Structure 1
Amino acid sequence: MSNSWQRRAATRPQAVEATTLVLLFALTVASVVAARAVMSGTPPLWSGIALAAVACAALPWRRERPVGVLAATTLCTIVLGALGYLLTAGVMVPLLVAQYFTSVRTPRRTSWNSALTAAAGLVVTGLLVPSFRDSPILGTVNPVAMVLLSAALGAYVRVRRQYAVARAEHAVREREEEARHRVIQERMRIARELHDVVAHHLTLADAQAGTAAHLARTHPEQAFDILAKLPETTAAALRELKAAVGLLRQDNDTSDLTPAPGLDRLPELVDTCSMVGLEVTVTVDGQRRPLPPVLDLTAYRIVQEALTNVTKHAATRTAQVRLAYTPHYLTLTVTNDTTPDRPVASATTGGGFGLLGMRERAAAVGGTFHAGRRPHGGFEVACTLPLHHHGALPPDSHDTPPPHTHDESPAT
């Protein structure tokens, strides 16, 4: 029933306003008549009804001009008191309503100054009217208390509304900040994906082209074989680039996009590296198991980027990939040794984003990442990824990730 009344009030505001004013006028007139009956003297009835009507007639502007309406209702109430009417709550209804709206719709200082002014006028009236000299509580204390109580109620409502508005604005800002944060995270994710795809395949294509050019005069057959495999590398780059760019078109049909790669494509990655002369050895420790898609993609991209760095920066032509499965973690290690009598070009040289992207990928799934030179030469990339959701281990877990050292933070 309350909801039905609220719906009707929302759809018919003018009818609700007219009904409210009629009820307030009826209550005020009835209170004026009752106050006249209990007084020892006989204040003029029609004057009291006229003042009540004037006070109620000013109330329709209580929202637009609250201070002016408060002044009019206060003057009418003071005149009623001066005529000898007992200022009960019913007689003061227009004044109390006007004071409430003044406190709600005006600043704190204005509302309390107006309340104190109205209270001072009632005090003066109560002290000067002969009928109330013997009863200061009825003539002054009660009217002043009701005005101040109405002002306090209005101030409380004003503060609550301001608090609600502040909370709503804060919630809007939080939603905007959250949306902005998600956009930034999505942009970073797509940037990592594009970097890994473009850097890996273009590095391999560049290495294949350079090797073919080097062998063109001395071993033309090998050069032609390498060039024949070059379209496979570029085609793979285009497929993965199309899949990465497809992330930007969420509203379109992505059924024709290549699925996200995972560790099941590691043999293909090893074969691709062998085309440019990098021999990769893969060892698996522990029981291999299927991984969630996000974790599977993360592991593959980290291995792919680490091998790309070896291809670009390392003097050696060999690399080792180790996958270690434990009950709660997957540890990836990619290492390359130093070729005798040849310096190692550190993977920390250059101005790219390889190490940074790998570190961000590992952190996104709750893992750890370390990269740096090995004590006996070469370079190592090590990453530990939790196999459970958000990296949370079950309460009875005693499996801890292995420590890593030789961490270097510059990105390539």
Structure 2
Amino acid sequence: MSTSPAGPPPPADGPLSAARRNLRELAHGLSHASHPPTPLLAGAPKRWQRLLPYAVVIALVATFVPVTINVLTAQYGLTGGMAGALAVAQAAPLLMLAHRPLHAWWIIFPADILGALVLLSKPVEKYDIWPWTPPVIVGYLFLLLAIGLRETRRTVIGVWLLTGTAGLVLHLVAPERSNGSALLLFILGAVVLVIGTAVRERAEAQRRLAEQETINETERAQRTLLEERTRIARELHDVVAHHMSVITVQADSAPYRISGLSDEAREEFTAIAAGARESLGEMRRLLSVLRSDGTEGDRAPQPGIDRVQQLVEATVRAGVPAELSLAADLGEVPSAVDLSAYRIVQEALANVIRHAPGARTQVSITAGAGHLTVLVVNSPANLTRSPLETTGTGHGLVGMRERVRLTGGSLDTGPLPDGGFRVAARMPLPPAETTSARPAPSAHPTSEDS
């Protein structure tokens, strides 16, 4: 077997292209917040915890605005108007820390640089701190902490690098006036950002761990449910299979144990034994599905339309006059539709036996217009016979509806005006041009009455 030669390897990512890519990623991180504008602690269970971030930012603004004005006027000699404008620009955006810290940074950072440039116009004093004043340093640290708690690591690194770059540029502009505040903010900012990022990533890890634990708990509950379902199926099999086996043995041995039985009685015992064996076979197949995911049970032959006549005959023997009308040529019936038709008739006849004993029942299976139609109609119950069940769970009708829905068909059920009941299922068949006709099972319609 020959293979075509592989194409040339992709070109290596050089230093310049890698630098440009990283710069684009940093710029995107600085211009796009990584979290929705939901307040910090918005998911806290208690009201006071949700209101705490707002109380903190209001306290910060109420503190830093007057302190900044006082420092700029008293220590740096700015006028009241200029000092007030800078104080509002540098401190008022702290109100946004609870929900939009990155947007607050885009306002405070240029305002801090502008404040440093304005201070260059004033004569230097012995105790002046430049380029960043003490209120700017403290307020900026709160800003960086909020960014570290809300933004991604890429955005945090971009903010830190721009802060250091701005401090370095201002130091180069006036090195004789710079006295280390740029380096101090750069170092303290790194510490604060690391703390905020660590807290955010730890909270994110705890959230993911809680989600994983919830998923694991759901999976454990589902596994427990399946195990319990299998256990119940085994117990049901052990109990019912025992009684069905006893019925089979008794029915098989009755002609030998009881003398003088008529031919009709012998045939009845034979039919009882055959029905019990069939029930045992289906029960074992269903149990194997539950135990081994269907690897054994699915290989067993599935009942279909060709066995509907046996259902009708068993119903007649149970005392329900039933008639079967089966189309002579149904065409190619998919296995899912074939099985669903059988189960629908089986459940409908079982409901007649339980709830309407003695009711005349008509079963009809026809094909036409690309659909298979299954119709089971029974008359009102015989009033001289009491029903086996007066109420039902409705699970039988739900099961019918599910089977029909899975085949893409429709189901119509409901009482009739005369007191009877009707079950009508319509399931799609393959197009006629792609199917080949097959002989109908049990070739002719039958009519049996008890």
State the TM bucket, normalised to the shorter chain: 0.3 to 0.5
TM-score, reference length from structure 1? 0.46
TM-score, reference length from structure 2? 0.43
